């Protein structure tokens, strides 16, 4: 889409320093600025690019005072970093204006109920007794099982599979290829050394304002529910096992694995490849460094943990210093 500097200032509640009629059609990093693009300057270490930028419009903080001449028109805002996030959301919302659409080959059960202006892409399947809220966007090749409930303003990207009985709140984004509600890894050992599958009859419940990354799997419970709280963000290629509970506003980076029946608190931050042992609790506001392994309960709120098995970060740093010293000797 095309926007003038004046329109940008109106959207972002800023002011124009330069030509108000200059137009932008795309976005670029400040070091890659080009004609027709908008860039932003928020980090002082990138100031050299401000003066060399070929972008037509530059978002800057209101108090920025250039040391040299600036070529692009500047749109001054209170916080350039927050403003560019707001602008990206505005453009994304404009691009996906809600409209009712039915793609070729989609199959919708007669007993399913779809709300207002729900879009369904080609070759998608919606099972019996499903309920999908208003203004949902279901892309192509999505499979939604029997009895699934999906809230308003949800986006389901191509290749997503939602197993029967799953419940999904409002404003949820499920990225391509994620699986919601598959059986958990439950097997009972037998006297002859073989394994017998334990049937999973529960479901997955996802709260409001949740985003699940591509190819992430969330297993349904053996009984009751696997629960993902409101505001949770889970990155690509994560594994959430059966009967897990993840508290509100917790975030997990790529390749995290949470074993069965673990309970993760609210407002936690897990870096990439964190592993959590099953049947333990992790307190609210816990931060866990990359590749850490949590092998026991975390009872104190606000801990920062590193290592495998994970320990408090200051203890880890002292231990690491000892390791380095021993290696040098």
Write b or e for each residue in 138-156: b if 16 or more Cβ atoms lie within 10 A of its Cβ, otherwise e.
bbbbbbbbebbbbbbbbbb
Distance, CA of 314 to CA of 320 (rounded, Å): 10
Q: Which of 139, 175, 200, 242 is catalytic?
A: 242
Region class of 220: left (phi > 0), else alpha (psi between -120 and 50), else beta: beta
Its sign, for the CA torsion 93, 98, 104, 108, is positive
Distance, CA of 42 to CA of 59 (rounded, Å): 8
Distance, CA of 105 to CA of 140 (rounded, Å): 10
Distance, CA of 214 to CA of 187 (rounded, Å): 27
Q: Is position 242 annotated as part of the catalytic site?
A: yes
Distance, CA of 237 to CA of 60 (rounded, Å): 36
**Using DSSP, how many helices (H) and how many strands (E) does the chain show?**
4, 40
User: CB-based burial of residue 19 (10 Å sphere; 0-12 exposed, 13-18 middle, 19+ buried)?
Assistant: middle
Structure tokens at 235: 């990155």
Write b or e for each residue in 51-89: b if 16 or more Cβ atoms lie within 10 A of its Cβ, otherwise e.
eebebbbbbbbeebeeeeebbbbbbbbeebeebbeebee
Contact 119, 140 (CB under 8 A): no
Show which residues are catalytic.
242
């Amino acid at each position: 889409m095309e926007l003038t500097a004046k329109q940008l200032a109106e959207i972002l509640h800023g002011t124009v320093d330069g030509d108000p009629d200059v137009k932008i059609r795309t976005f670029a990093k400040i070091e890659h600025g080009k004609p027709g693009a908008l860039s932003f300057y928020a980090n002082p270490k990138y100031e050299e690019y401000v003066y060399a930028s070929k972008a037509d419009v530059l978002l800057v903080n209101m108090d920025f005072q250039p040391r040299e001449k600036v070529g692009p028109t500047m749109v001054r805002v209170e916080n350039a970093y927050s403003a560019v996030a707001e602008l990206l959301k505005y453009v994304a919302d404009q691009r996906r204006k809600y409209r009712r659409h039915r793609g070729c080959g989609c199959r919708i059960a007669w007993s399913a109920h779809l709300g207002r202006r729900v879009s369904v892409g080609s070759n998608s399947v919606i099972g019996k007794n499903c309920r999908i809220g208003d203004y949902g966007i279901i892309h192509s090749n999505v499979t939604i099982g029997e009895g699934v409930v999906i809230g308003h303003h949800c986006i389901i990207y191509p290749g997503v599979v939602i197993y029967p009985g799953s419940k999904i709140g409002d404003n949820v984004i499920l990225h391509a290829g994620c699986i919601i509600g598959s059986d958990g890894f439950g097997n009972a050992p037998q006297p002859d050394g073989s394994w017998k599958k334990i049937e999973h009859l529960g479901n997955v419940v996802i709260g409001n304002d949740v985003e699940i990354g591509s190819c992430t799997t969330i297993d349904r419970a053996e009984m009751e529910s696997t629960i993902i709280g409101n505001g949770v963000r889970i990155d690509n290629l994560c594994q959430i096992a059966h009967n897990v509970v993840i508290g509100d506003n917790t975030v997990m980076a790529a390749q995290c694995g949470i074993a069965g029946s673990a309970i993760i608190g609210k407002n936690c931050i897990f870096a990439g490849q964190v592993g959590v042992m099953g049947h333990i609790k992790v307190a609210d506001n816990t931060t866990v460094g990359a590749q850490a392994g949590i092998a026991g309960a975390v009872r104190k709120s606000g801990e920062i943990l590193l290592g495998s098995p994970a320990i408090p970060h200051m203890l880890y740093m002292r231990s690491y210093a000892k390791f380095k010293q021993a290696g040098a000797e």
